[in-house]
Amino acid sequence: MPKTDYNRADLLFVFGSGYPELITHLSSILKDKCFKTIIISGGFKSNSERKIKLEDDTISESKYILNRLLEHNLYLPKIILEENSTNSLENVLFSMKLIDFTQLNSISIVCNNLGSGRQYRTISKHILESIEIYFDCFTSIALYGYEITRENWFLQKPSRVFVFGEYLRNIYYSQLGHIKDDVEMIEDFADIYSKYGISTTGIGE
């Protein structure tokens, strides 16, 4: 399982997103922790395709994140931009073409807490088991106007729908072989769909 107690890692791997909290979170990490290399992964998507809009969608997601980081006047180590990916699997596979992961002992991953399980399963499926994986997750209010956490996700319908949908995405991608296959379908889960008004259409999107 991923860990969170670390002071440094060989690589900081950033799953790109439009969440505004990502920039603040990254800036805080880079002030306190040491990394040899940072890879920011995220390609081109227009704002019409995004749940979270970017201030500038004419450049890649990874370039947008880097530009925002540079505004904070931080000392930055070697940075690699992966600018072609459009989903978590491509984030990992395309990044592996830019850096030799077999030479790494440890990776720290930055991502939204809501997708962290799927992104952990994605990267752990495709790298050496000997590589230590750490997590530095952030929370965001951008989707629903409040933070969705382990303690409150079940209290409101939008976050229940999101969390159960994320669970189904883990099932879907594990069946495709895209992520680590350690997710099991709960029996009679259809009853939960009905109870919370969850649609199973578009799970693979």
54-108: per-residue pLDDT in tens? 777 788 999 999 999 988 888 788 899 999 999 999 999 999 999 999 999 999 9
Structure pTM? Answer: 0.84
Beta carbons of 38 and 82 less than 8 angstroms apart? no
User: Strand, helix or coil at 137?
Assistant: strand
pLDDT digits (tens, 9 = 90+) for 61-75: 999 999 999 888 887
pLDDT digits (tens, 9 = 90+) for 143-198: 788 888 888 888 988 888 888 888 888 888 988 899 987 766 665 555 655 555 55
Nearest CA among 85, 112, 87 for reference residue 20: 112
Could you give the domains of the chain? 1-142 (3.40.50.620), 144-205 (no CATH)
Q: How far apart are CA 14 and CA 162, in angstroms?
A: 22
- Least confident among 3-7, 26-30, 85-89: 3-7
Instruction: Provide mean pLDDT across the span 40-47.
Output: 86
**Residue 75 structure tokens:** 């000392």
